[in-house]
Structure 1
């Protein structure tokens, strides 16, 4: 048995080692790349105001899979964004639709008429009719599964792939970390590709989930701070300056007035939100507001706050949504460089893994 020598383990990979590791990495990603039609099984998370034509096309052109965030867009506006994205890339990309959108059926039709190959349904359990319409129209359907029981239900409903997103993610999040969701879901789901999301910032971390059975990964925070992102420079620089502990979920003061958990960077706005809740609760308890009025007042606090941060650069009062992987954003980089770094990190990890096996073999 060879003695393990750390300096040898961490030496730069040779060309032969890199080639073997890259072949292994591509094999682990194959189900994901085949499903997406891409070079890499890396999706861009759909982020409102950020995941538009420029960033989406850049991700796709770099070999990943860009996803347009439809959000509150009307059908005509979505059709324009799809056409504008297609003018910038001839590579595959998808569209993320919010299931609660009042015109969901019309938005599905817009995607199908434009020849969008993948429709991502997010924000709740997708209606069976929407899944059927998308599939009948020739699109593949991707949905989010926050628990194993829902993953199985969605597969029965006909979805073609799943995303499991941990609480480490930015924006609207669930309560369970990706490390737990992966252990709960990946060993039991093999009928469809499963992509992991939430807190991903490095390729070696993505590799660990691929080895558990994932077909690829979805990243949002890293791409939000990319050179091609239209986010304000102040928004991007806030990411570069921050660490994981700066990205926290919104705080709820009273269980009678639920606050949807949203992860973002702590700023003056998030601090004022706590004070605002306290003020509204006092007004409710004094009889000045009904419960419904108080709930609406609390919910209205963040109206327009994401746009103020992303587009206007008001990072003190706006909503600076970011995942805990923000601590791994060390610079504003081009999308192609981010993806290249992720792949290189995964390949290097595989090389070191093989060296450890050789030393102990």
Structure 2
């Protein structure tokens, strides 16, 4: 007999082609072949974080992931990447089934280029008006991610976005909820509100299969929710998307970086596009220092507020099993 959790997740699992409707969010340097394949093999849905990769690097990463899993996985592409259409071609050549477009509205022709090969397009909707616009544009599914998430964040909390968007959009297309989810109780609640599934990042960043440096993982184990703070915007002319990370010297360095870029903007030495690119490159470098090199003082420890629920290193399969068991128990309690 199908239990309530399985039936609530049925739309999400059918859309993703996975056993559970749990997506592992794309985290630069972390969501690579090892973690992605482990998540998909454990019944979740892994996403390769393309980030600033070149088409050749993405090509190699997809091939390497395919060698480690026969289960479905997707690729997360940043809309402002200068070679976005070349990256889409690489995904199409590998018959990647799902492509997530993140970091802004999809540029003209990008959705069509993905769908031409039969892949599903998933986009982030930070507001109801944008959710409706993306739906009209032909997007196949949405992720609504609240400000509790790690990395680049919007200004609205997950619970508010869920109340605003799910009643209006959940009947139209699959909607996955993300941001601050660290326990199966929350998964059960969002599924009952109409979500097709959920996306988690922070909980998977410290999985046994994650290549993140031991220092990076230890910083997560020591942290509480209040340690994951959002970056501050220094100059109103520099529209910097806030980033949530554990507070350290790297957080202060980012404030200094913004001042430096704002001064270049003042002097006319860079235009706005170049200024924003410099900020993005700063984050990519700072994140690499923390994740790969283990420099937890000066690197960027991007983490969501659910970091307090990450207390030790566990295999991905155990994380997914625990989340499912907690969600199932929560639904049973409510039914009783």
For this structure pair, what is the TM-score category when the shorter chain's length is used for normalisation? Answer: over 0.9
After TM superposition, the structure 1 = structure 2 runs for residues 232-247 of structure 1, keeping only pairs within 5 Å, are 232-247=213-228
Q: Is the 8 A contact 1:128 1:157 kept in 2?
A: no
1:324 counterpart = 2:301: no
1:201 counterpart = 2:182: yes
Regions of 4+ moved over 3 Å? 256-259, 272-278, 291-303
Aligned equivalent of 1:314: 295
Q: 1:253 is matched with which residue: 226, 230, 234? A: 234
Instruction: Report the alpha carbon displacement of residue 72 of structure 1 after superposing the two structures with TM.
Output: 1.1
Instruction: Report the alpha carbon displacement of residue 293 of structure 1 after superposing the two structures with TM.
Output: 5.9
Q: 1:348 is matched with which residue: 304, 329, 332? A: 329
TM-superposition CA deviations, 1:1-53 (whole Å, max 9, x none): xxxxxxxxxxxxxxxxxxx7x71000000000000011100001001100000
After TM superposition, the structure 1 = structure 2 runs for residues 80-229 of structure 1, keeping only pairs within 5 Å, are 80-189=60-169, 190-229=171-210
Change (3 A) 1:255 1:159: same
Structure 1 unaligned residues grouped into runs of 5+: 1-19, 356-361
Q: Is the 8 A contact 2:127 2:165 kept in 1?
A: yes
Change (3 A) 1:157 1:333: same
Instruction: Report the alpha carbon displacement of residue 346 of structure 1 after superposing the two structures with TM.
Output: 0.5
Residue 312 of structure 1 aligns to a residue whose secondary structure is coil
Between 267-276 and 331-340, report the one with greater CA deviation.
267-276
Change (3 A) 1:292 1:186: farther
Change (3 A) 1:69 1:275: closer
Residue 186 of structure 2 aligns to a residue whose secondary structure is helix
Instruction: Report the alpha carbon displacement of residue 268 of structure 1 after superposing the two structures with TM.
Output: 1.6
1:43 counterpart = 2:23: yes
Residue 87 of structure 1 aligns to a residue whose secondary structure is helix
Q: Distance in 1 between matches of 2:34 and 2:307?
A: 21
Change (3 A) 1:130 1:254: closer
Q: Distance in 1 between matches of 2:89 and 2:225?
A: 40
Structure 2 unaligned residues grouped into runs of 5+: none
Change (3 A) 1:259 1:69: same
TM-superposition CA deviations, 1:63-88 (whole Å, max 9, x none): 00000011111111111111100000
Q: Distance in 2 between matches of 1:262 and 1:288?
A: 21
Q: Is the 8 A contact 1:44 1:59 kept in 2?
A: yes
Give me the TM-score of the superposition, normalised by structure 2.
0.93
Q: Distance in 2 between matches of 1:165 and 1:25?
A: 22
Q: Distance in 1 between matches of 2:231 and 2:69?
A: 37
Aligned-pair RMSD on alpha carbons?
Answer: 2.2
Q: Is the 8 A contact 2:28 2:284 kept in 1?
A: no
Q: Distance in 2 between matches of 1:289 and 1:135?
A: 42
Instruction: Report the alpha carbon displacement of residue 253 of structure 1 after superposing the two structures with TM.
Output: 3.2
Change (3 A) 1:254 1:201: same
TM-superposition CA deviations, 1:70-110 (whole Å, max 9, x none): 11111111111111000000000000111111111111111
Residue 233 of structure 2 aligns to a residue whose secondary structure is coil
Q: Is the 8 A contact 2:228 2:246 kept in 1?
A: yes
Q: Distance in 2 between matches of 1:301 and 1:126?
A: 23
Residue 304 of structure 1 aligns to a residue whose secondary structure is helix
Change (3 A) 1:132 1:245: same
After TM superposition, the structure 1 = structure 2 runs for residues 24-39 of structure 1, keeping only pairs within 5 Å, are 24-39=4-19
TM-superposition CA deviations, 1:250-301 (whole Å, max 9, x none): 11234244433000000122134445656x59x95xx996265698498376
Aligned equivalent of 1:333: 314
Q: How many residues in Structure 1 have an aligned counterpart in Structure 2? A: 331
Residue 94 of structure 1 aligns to a residue whose secondary structure is strand
Residue 236 of structure 1 aligns to a residue whose secondary structure is helix
